[in-house]
Structure 1
């Protein structure tokens, strides 16, 4: 018994000593830091159920309240660097990108070829692949896919009409996610997903599985994120095998069928096929991983943006009416037809979407890994190679210094007259610098097409089931806890009158 007590005591002291040593890291480097606690550091214990996005916003606010331009926190014993000053953020993402070019997430590329894509890759392989794929997201390529995307509004409109006729309350996130699933399935694979007809199509099921959170998945992500060497030894994978198998199978079958039968279609898969078959600049593994990355990037992100946009429009009738009037005015000039050119004339729509992304950035935190020692410009502090940096996009977007009255939904912040007032480095809905979201144009086009389709046919109002103000849920993508529930009513206005 005495031996057990002694063993327990020694173990406790060893753990205590380890954490005390680790928790001196930022102090030794003259970086302002928050007081950590053993063993979680500055992260709240799991039982408090606070989403990471909220925690990092709180870190941002705490350093800001202390008038610090940067700070350090601890995730368990791992030091995390938090830039607060917008100019420093801009330096990290753009000017000094060479010091912070990596994301540093271990994903076991040998066992998970679907993750061998732009989001996870670092170093020379990321740079080479980025150069190959950048031409696939030009405005010309987007225009090529426009009609393919527009065709997906038919099932959405049909379902919305049915629900409006029956006065059903709409779970708008679920509705919009079905639309974006159809869009991505069609544009990435050339496959009709029929999400509105099939209760749980394979694309919807496996797409949801990628973003579903559970304790085991959270543990794997923590290991992959914080303990790369251990994750490698344990052969940790962060994508479920059935999800991996489904996307490898569907990508391979689609590619083989099209090449054998010389089928060409105006979609993302066609662009990748041409890169592989004609330019010989893409391997089959790269093709599969990029299709998967494209699907996942557009699956939940656009649906989340649309959800929060409609939530705010339902709460602000004046903004909803103003946007609808712009839609009517512009489409009138195009005989009521939604065209690629019409989208680019809707300036107020751009403002509404930009303000939605300000208040609810889809990815609330931007992760970078320091690839070489970095001298912080305004201090004597040096960020060591290998240190993770987390930029709270939501913290910046809701900072009253940069966006006065940040809780107010105000599209006029992004008017031509006010754009110059936005501080460089303070607005990061798609990231910034060389790793800015490559699919930004595609996502914006998808959101605009959907908004036009809905607002020219329906008026939206808030249902009492929606919790206000919205509380953020767990997950990589920013979502509202409990969902967003809206009422919708058909409009009688004739667009061409």
Structure 2
């Protein structure tokens, strides 16, 4: 029995030291930060799915008000939380070439070569070739697809509202964004069976996987093991989807000029090349295999519907709580649409400036993707400090902490669209607002998201208004079982005809 106790004590001690072996890292470098816990580091509540990661890092951000950077541990890996806006600008913009990668690598056969997760040279080539999908000209060409789905959405809401005024807002707007991205990216109209499949996929994509924590503890392990953070079903679905659309179009581009047309144009070349900044720079090439095509189809779809659906859910929630703001938005929509003879055009949307301010303020209060992260390509000394981040280590940026910092946004809990008036915006630091990231690796679909959301809100508020229901939460909780910032239990509102 004594020997057994000695062995157990020895095993426990070894395990303890193994899972705390890195925890003097920041202390030895005189970098302030919260005390880590064995195995979990500073993210225990996130790992155990008690709190959303955005809130975990916001607590750390708020605790170290006088620091430019804070040393933190994701599991056992030392990372650096950036608080200072000038430091963030250096990392995300000025010295971007030192922080190209997001630092989430997994199997290239498991959708890992998508534009969001791809690293280095692969990302540069993909970004360069897919940026043209989101020009103003392309968005203007897609607008009729969005407005058609907007009209169908209004009819759908009217049928539901006639039976019951209280509705789950996210479920409704998600139906619109799924239909819109399917039409604009793939030229598809969705039926009920497809909606059910996509809702199943939604849970697979946006439910946090413990593969992420494993990769935090052993950076790069998923790629080495050829494992993915997504189930095979998701990979197979987007492989089949892209191949089906390619077959429907006979393997050649059509006149739709949408995402799949661009894919088909590139596919005829077999490989795609990046641009060279210098003559002696190596040529970057990506082979356009079926798995690369499926990976882009996946990220365009997933990013294209959920972020907008969650944003509009929060937007309608705030309008319901602030009827005076809702009245002002409705008045602007009516006035602008009337001037354009009832047609919602690209120029018409751009004149809805107050609606855009409401959209921006919504994303200030509710940054959907948080935290942001980048991996150092080489040892890098943080400007204005004596702190060096080592090659391969991760820097983190907590958008919510910044967006609720009274130094940048006085009375941050208040919903105030006037923060984003032209006058107020010009006086704000360029890195004080980060819902889409910033710098060369910001969200490629930002303009699409803004147009898609404004179409939906304009169509909706032309016919309806929203009010709190008996089930509308007064204080929101965020679902730790959702990787994006999502209200726990959703948000129910009353929808009333105007």
Q: Which residue is equivalent to 2:262? A: 271
Query: 1:191 deviation in Å?
Result: 0.9
Please give the alpha-carbon distance, in whole angstroms, between the structure 2 residues aligned to 1:203 and 1:174: 12
Which shifted more, 160-169 or 27-36?
160-169
Q: Distance in 2 between matches of 1:262 and 1:378?
A: 51
More displaced 10-residue stretch of structure 1: 307-316 or 272-281: 272-281
2:303 alignment partner in structure 1: 297
The aligned counterpart of 1:239 is: 230
SS at structure 2 position matched to 1:72? strand
Residue of structure 2 equivalent to 1:428: 434
Matched, 1:206 2:211: no
Specify which of 261, 277, 283 is matched with residue 288 of structure 2.
Answer: 283
* Contact 2:378-2:392 at 8 Å conserved across structures: yes
Residue 379 of structure 1: SS of its match in structure 2?
Answer: coil
2:176 aligns with 179
Q: CA separation in 1, counterparts of 2:42 and 2:271?
A: 49
* Whole-Å separation in 1 of the counterparts to 2:477 and 2:411: 19
Which deviates more from structure 2 when the two are superposed, residues 244-253 or residues 153-162?
Answer: 153-162
Distance apart, 1:185 and its partner CA: 1.2
Q: Indicate whether 1:222 and 2:213 are aligned.
A: yes
Query: What is the CA–CA distance in structure 1 between the aligned matches of 2:213 and 2:37, rounded to whole Å?
Result: 18
RMSD of the alignment, in Å? Answer: 1.9
Query: Structure 1 residue 105: deviation in Å?
Result: 1.1
Aligned to 2:366: 360
1:142 corresponds to: 139
- The 8 Å contact of residues 209 and 243 in structure 1, kept in 2 or not, is answered as yes
How many pairs does the alignment contain?
Answer: 481
Q: Is the 8 A contact 1:178 1:204 kept in 2?
A: no
Matched, 1:409 2:415: yes
Alpha-carbon distance in structure 2 between the residues aligned to 1:229 and 1:415: 43
Q: Aligned equivalents of 2:48 and 2:117: distance in 1?
A: 29
How many Å apart are 1:20 and its aligned residue? Answer: 4.5
Alignment correspondent of 2:57: 56
Q: Which residue number corresponds to residue 281 of structure 2?
A: none
Are 1:476 and 2:491 matched, yes or no? no
- Deviation of residue 171 (structure 1)? 0.2
Match of 2:381 among 372, 375, 389: 375
The reply on whether 1:78 has 2:73 as its aligned counterpart is no
C-alpha distance in 2 between matches for 1:262 and 1:68: 53
User: 1:403 aligns to what SS in structure 2?
Assistant: coil
* Distance in 2 separating the partners of 1:250 and 1:435: 27
User: What is the match of residue 151 of structure 1?
Assistant: 148
Instruction: Work out the CA distance in 2 between the residues paired with 1:226 and 1:104.
Output: 13
* Number of the residue aligned with 1:495: none
2: CA distance, partners of 1:245 / 1:470:
36
Pair 1:28–1:155, CA change in 2 (3 A): same
Kindly provide the CA deviation profile for residues 315-369 of structure 1, in whole angstroms up to 9, marking residues without a partner as x.
0011101011110111111111111210011111111101011110111210111
Shift of the 463–377 alpha-carbon distance from structure 1 to 2, 3 Å rule, reads: same
Distance 2:48 2:370 in 1: 22
Per-residue deviation at 1:107? 1.3
Shift of 1:95: 0.9
In 1, Cα distance between the equivalents of 2:355 and 2:161?
24
What stretches of structure 1 of length at least 5 have no aligned partner?
492-497
Q: Helix, strand or coil: the match of 1:423?
A: coil
Question: CA shift at 1:469, angstroms?
Answer: 1.5
TM-score, structure 2 normalization: 0.92
Shift of 1:98: 1.8
| Structure-2 change in CA distance of 1:328 and 1:229 (3 Å) | closer
Q: Give the unaligned 5+ runs of structure 2.
A: 273-286
Q: Is the 8 Å Cα contact of residues 71 and 78 (structure 2) preserved in structure 1?
A: yes
Q: What CA distance in whole angstroms lies between the structure 1 residues aligned with 2:215 and 2:49?
A: 23
Match of 1:161 in 2: 158
Structure 1 segment 189-204 matched on structure 2, within 5 A: 189-194=186-191, 197=192, 200-204=195-199
**Deviation readout 1:169-202 (Å, 9 max, x if unpaired):** 11000111111111111112111113xx559432
Taking structure 1 as the reference length, the TM-score comes to 0.92
Q: Which residue of 2 aligns with 1:331?
A: 337
Cα shift at 1:233: 4.9
2:464 pairs with 1:486: no
285-294 or 441-450, which deviates more: 285-294
Q: SS of 1:23's equivalent?
A: coil
